Structure formats: C-alpha cells, structure tokens
C-alpha cells in the first residue's frame, strides 16, 4: 500500500504522485525564508521526537536481526540519539546553504538587443528509491525542499517503521512552516509492482534517483519510463604507488576499508606497486587482518603474507573478486608493476565511483587523475570523503556514477535543471 505522509489514508501510487505534482508548482515559487524555516522546524522536530523515532527504529532492527540481514545492513539501518542529532544538523546545514532556485548561470545580449539568461529551476517532482538507510528519508526530503522539488520517497521494507515516522515528522513540520501539503510523500509496503508503477509515472514524476545495489538498478532499467539518475554501486580502489609514503598509505587503506565497510565509498580492492610490496604488504595485511578483514589476494600478494613471520591468513582471489562490491570486511589485494597497470585495472573493474592513489610522485598523481574514469579521484586521501556532507553540500541524494547531468555527490544544484529567460523590447526576428 502507499502512505501519504500528510494524511493517515492509503492511496494508490498514482494518487500519491499526483499529490506531489500538485504541490510542485507552489513549492517552486516558495520564498527562500519559508523553505529555510521549514528545514529548521524539521530539525527541531527530529530532536524533540527522538524517542518516537528510536522506538520505530528498534522495531526495524529487531526484524532485521530475525531476518538475518547482516551486520553491514544493520549498521546502515541503526539510529541512536547521536545519529538523529547528526541528521537534524544536516537539515540545518542545508537551510544555511544558498538557494539554487533562480540562480543565474550565465547570460548575454544578442546582436538584436534581446537579453538571454540561463537560470536554475527545480525539476518538479523527484522520486527517491533507497534501501536500508532511514537517514536518507530526511536528507533527501531536505534537499528537495530547499531546491524547490516535491519528493516521493520509496524506502525499503527493512526500514518501514523508521521511514514512516521520519517522513511524517518532516511533512508535519514543513506544512506548519508554510510548505504546500503534499510536498513530502512516502510510499511504503508495496513490492516490485509499486516500484514499477512509480517508475512509469510519466508527466507526473520528473526524475528518479535510486540508491541501492545492482538488483535495484536492473529492476528499474527493465521498466522505467521516467528519467533515472543512478546512484550506483561503489567498487572503489586504493593504489599504493612505488613512491608512496607508506605510513600514509597504511592509514588511508585502513580508513577506506574499515571506517564503514558497508557504504559505497569504502575501498574494495588494494593495489600495491611491486617495488614497495615487500615493505608494505606484510604490515598492512597484518593490520587489516587484526581488525577482522578477510583478505583475498592474488598470488604475488599472498606470497608476501606467507613470507611474513607468523603467516597472515589470506584467501586466493578470483576474477570475480576484482569486480565485487563487498560492502563488508573483505578486501581484494593485488600487486601491479606500474601506475599504468593500476589505472588499467581500475578502469576495467571499477564502477566509476571513487578511486585513490597514494604517491609522492606528482607525475603519477597527475596520470592517475587524468587516466582514471571515475566521479571522484583522490590523491593521498581516503575514498571515504566522497559524500555530499563532506563536500559542503549539507547532504546528498546519492552518488552518481553517470556522466550526464550529475556526477558524484548529488546536492542542491544537481537537483535543479535550468531554463532560458529571454527579455526584449519588441524585437522580431528577420
């Protein structure tokens, strides 16, 4: 069934989408001060109603444990007062950002004297499909509200209770602050049929952002008639070059893999130049093993694990491992003979999300930046920084690995399209 967050009645997917469509035009014209006041009201309401949120989240966590969804998904799902406060702070940060709506991108005067300006405008109705993470409910709603878009949220059954409470709180607070009713909508309880119906709301829903794995992506590709920007998987790499600072390389590899292994910007493969492999691999593999990482190594990397005093347990890597997004404490490890080989491996197996090189050689750093085809390319820093909040966007709808319209973290500006405004004084074309 579909749940409209501003009413306690069920309605079909089409009706929920039409309600969002009706709110889209007045929302697009809403004054920035009203939108910001709504975001601050949402943030305050989240903190005030934290016990209600935590109770709902506990129900989802209990169901998740019973269904054995795994530690990574449970971590994504879990809320506590600290995380709720962080979600509220994200809404406040978005409120403090410049309003993109109406921003002039460029302009010029034609020889005829006609003035042409290109300005940002909202898409209209944005659908966001996401899995497991209840924080996305607020992040996405806040970004859409500030960018003047009505939103239709479609979370997973894993977070049913958490999403329902969070969406209701956001909708109620926003309406009280002057946002049109219907601007924040939630779909919940449906299966693939509901997903297909949302993805085919031509003329009502303007754009869909899915956040999830390849299964969700493929399901949408099979049915979607509404434009889709995929916040796709992250098969991310860290390459340790021959001229790397090995202390920095160890810290970056450890952070990229274990800081939050269940997220899309976590590293899944470690590439190490053959010249530093004897010095680097025994130490970094030992450190990773100590914190519980399963190591899947090619033969050359495995040899360094065996040669180390007190052999480090590793598993032989398969071809499939290089292409796998584990979202878990598992890391593929490979020795390469050059930066060119590393770049080739990344481009062959990577998903175009986030890639990192650790090197003191400016030429290698530049070659990696230019040669790697990914949304975010790092030099001497962890892939874990790929995030709308870290990039100063307040939050993000997701991270796009596509190249058209939006790439990387999708924030306020990426939630806008543009229109041309043309002004004359009576000119006609001759």
**What average pLDDT does the chain have?**
92
Measured CA distances, 283 to 251, 260, 271, 286, 312 (Å): 11, 21, 15, 5, 10
Q: What pLDDT is stored for residue 139 in this prediction?
A: 94
Do 184 and 327 have their domain in common? no
Those residues whose C-beta lies under 8 Å from the C-beta of residue 196, and which sit 6 or more positions away, are 223
Beta strands in 131-202 (DSSP E): 150-154, 184-187
At 193, list the tokens: 């049929």
pLDDT band at 393 (very low <50, low <70, confident <90, very high): confident
Do 339 and 403 have their domain in common? no
Please give the Cα distance from 278 to 287 (Å, whole number): 15
Please give the Cα distance from 138 to 182 (Å, whole number): 15
Sign of torsion, CA 402 323 391 172? positive
Q: What pLDDT is stored for residue 211 in this prediction?
A: 83
Residue 59 lies in a domain: yes
**Under a CB-based contact definition with an 8 Å cutoff, are residues 245 and 225 in contact?**
no
3-class DSSP assignment, residue 296 = strand
Do 190 and 329 have their domain in common? no
Do 204 and 72 have their domain in common? yes
Q: What pLDDT is stored for residue 231 in this prediction?
A: 73
Residue 392 lies in a domain: no
Q: What percent of the chain has pLDDT over 70?
A: 96
**b (16+ CB within 10 A) / e for 270-294:** bbbbeebbeebbbebbebbbeeebe
pLDDT at 9 over 50: no
**Under a CB-based contact definition with an 8 Å cutoff, are residues 317 and 333 in contact?**
yes
Please give the Cα distance from 297 to 285 (Å, whole number): 10
Range of the domain at 10: 2-231+397-423
Single out the residue of 63, 6, 10 nearest to residue 188, CA to CA.
Answer: 10
Please give the Cα distance from 68 to 167 (Å, whole number): 26
Each as own residue / partner, the long-range contacts of residues 178-181 (CB below 8 Å, 24 or more positions apart, any chain) are 178/30, 178/34, 178/37, 178/38, 179/23, 179/27, 179/30, 179/34, 179/35, 179/38, 179/145, 180/22, 180/23, 180/26, 180/27, 180/30, 180/150, 181/6, 181/19, 181/23
Residue 391 lies in a domain: no
When pLDDT is averaged across residues 337-362 and rounded to a whole number, the result is 97
**Under a CB-based contact definition with an 8 Å cutoff, are residues 118 and 107 in contact?**
yes
pLDDT at 97 over 50: yes
Do 218 and 279 have their domain in common? no
Higher pLDDT among residues 108 and 394, named by residue:
108
pLDDT at 176 over 50: yes
When pLDDT is averaged across residues 172-189 and rounded to a whole number, the result is 94
Q: How far is CA 62 from the centre of its chain?
A: 26
CATH number at residue 371: 3.40.309.10
When pLDDT is averaged across residues 226-230 and rounded to a whole number, the result is 91
Domain tally for the chain? Answer: 2
CATH number at residue 15: 3.40.605.10
Residue 430 lies in a domain: no
When pLDDT is averaged across residues 352-358 and rounded to a whole number, the result is 97
pLDDT at 308 over 80: no
Q: Classify strands 2-3 and 184-187 as parallel, antiparallel or unpaired.
A: antiparallel
When pLDDT is averaged across residues 275-298 and rounded to a whole number, the result is 96
Residue 156 lies in a domain: yes
Residue 9 lies in a domain: yes
Q: What pLDDT is stored for residue 42 in this prediction?
A: 98
When pLDDT is averaged across residues 118-123 and rounded to a whole number, the result is 97
Do 317 and 282 have their domain in common? yes
Higher pLDDT among residues 4 and 90, named by residue:
90
pLDDT at 126 over 70: yes
pLDDT at 189 over 70: no
What is the dihedral angle through the alpha carbons of 32, 172, 212, 131, rounded to the nearest 10 degrees?
160
Q: What percent of the chain has pLDDT over 90?
A: 80
pLDDT at 8 over 60: no
pLDDT band at 306 (very low <50, low <70, confident <90, very high): confident
Do 404 and 366 have their domain in common? no
pLDDT at 6 over 80: no
* CA-based R_g, the chain, Å: 24
Residue 332 lies in a domain: yes
pLDDT band at 181 (very low <50, low <70, confident <90, very high): very high
Do 164 and 241 have their domain in common? no
Single out the residue of 184, 224, 180, 220 nearest to residue 206, CA to CA.
Answer: 224
Least confident of 47-51, 146-150, 211-215, 244-248: 211-215
Do 147 and 290 have their domain in common? no
Higher pLDDT among residues 71 and 391, named by residue:
391
Least confident of 1-15, 65-79, 413-427: 1-15
> CA angle, 209 as apex, 413 and 392 as ends, to 5°?
35
When pLDDT is averaged across residues 133-157 and rounded to a whole number, the result is 95
When pLDDT is averaged across residues 235-246 and rounded to a whole number, the result is 98
When pLDDT is averaged across residues 236-241 and rounded to a whole number, the result is 98
Do 197 and 245 have their domain in common? no
When pLDDT is averaged across residues 240-249 and rounded to a whole number, the result is 98
**b (16+ CB within 10 A) / e for 73-106:** bbebbbbeeebbeebbbbbbbbbebebbbeeeee
Do 161 and 208 have their domain in common? yes
pLDDT at 4 over 50: no
Do 153 and 254 have their domain in common? no
Residue 25 lies in a domain: yes
Please give the Cα distance from 55 to 396 (Å, whole number): 26
């Amino acid at each position: 069934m579909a749940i409209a967050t501003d009413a306690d009645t069920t309605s079909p997917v089409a009706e929920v989408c039409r309600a969002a469509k009706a709110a889209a035009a007045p929302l697009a014209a809403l004054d920035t001060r009203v939108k910001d006041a709504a975001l601050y009201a949402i943030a305050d309401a989240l903190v005030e109603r934290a016990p209600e949120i935590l109770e709902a989240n506990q129900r989802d966590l209990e169901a998740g444990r019973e269904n054995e969804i795994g530690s990574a998904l449970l971590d994504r799902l879990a809320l506590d007062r600290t995380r709720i406060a962080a979600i509220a702070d994200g809404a406040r940060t978005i409120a403090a950002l410049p309003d993109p709506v109406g921003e002039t991108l460029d302009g010029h005067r034609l020889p005829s004297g006609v003035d042409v300006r290109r300005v940002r405008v909202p898409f209209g109705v944005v659908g966001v499909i996401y899995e497991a993470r209840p924080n996305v409910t607020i992040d996405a709603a806040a970004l859409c509200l500030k960018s003047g878009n009505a939103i239709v949220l479609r979370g997973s059954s894993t977070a049913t209770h958490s999403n329902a409470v969070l969406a209701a709180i956001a909708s109620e607070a926003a309406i009280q602050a002057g946002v049109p009713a219907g601007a924040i909508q939630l779909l919940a309880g449906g299966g693939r049929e509901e997903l297909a119906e949302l993805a085919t709301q031509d003329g009502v829903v303007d754009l869909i952002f899915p956040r999830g794995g390849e299964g969700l992506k493929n399901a949408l590709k099979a049915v979607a008639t509404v434009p889709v920007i995929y916040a796709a998987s992250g098969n991310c790499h860290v390459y340790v070059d021959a001229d790397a600072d090995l202390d920095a390389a160890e810290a970056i590899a450890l952070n990229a893999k274990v800081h939050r292994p269940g997220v899309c910007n976590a590293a899944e493969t470690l590439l190490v130049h053959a010249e530093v492999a004897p010095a680097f691999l025994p130490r970094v593999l030992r450190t990773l093993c100590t914190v519980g990482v399963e190591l899947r190594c090619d033969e050359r990397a495995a040899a360094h694990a065996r040669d180390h005093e007190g052999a480090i347990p590793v598993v032989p890597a398969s071809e499939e491992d290089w292409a796998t997004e584990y979202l878990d404490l598992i890391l593929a490890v490979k020795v390469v003979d050059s930066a060119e080989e590393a770049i080739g491996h990344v481009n062959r197996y990577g998903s175009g999300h986030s890639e990192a090189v650790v090197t003191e050689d400016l030429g290698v750093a530049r070659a990696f930046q230019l040669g790697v085809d990914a949304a975010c390319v790092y030099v001497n820093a962890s892939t874990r920084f790929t995030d709308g909040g870290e990039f100063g966007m307040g939050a993000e709808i997701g991270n796009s690995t596509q190249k058209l319209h939006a790439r990387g973290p999708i924030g306020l500006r990426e939630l806008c399209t543009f229109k041309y405004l043309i002004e004359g004084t009576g000119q006609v074309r001759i």
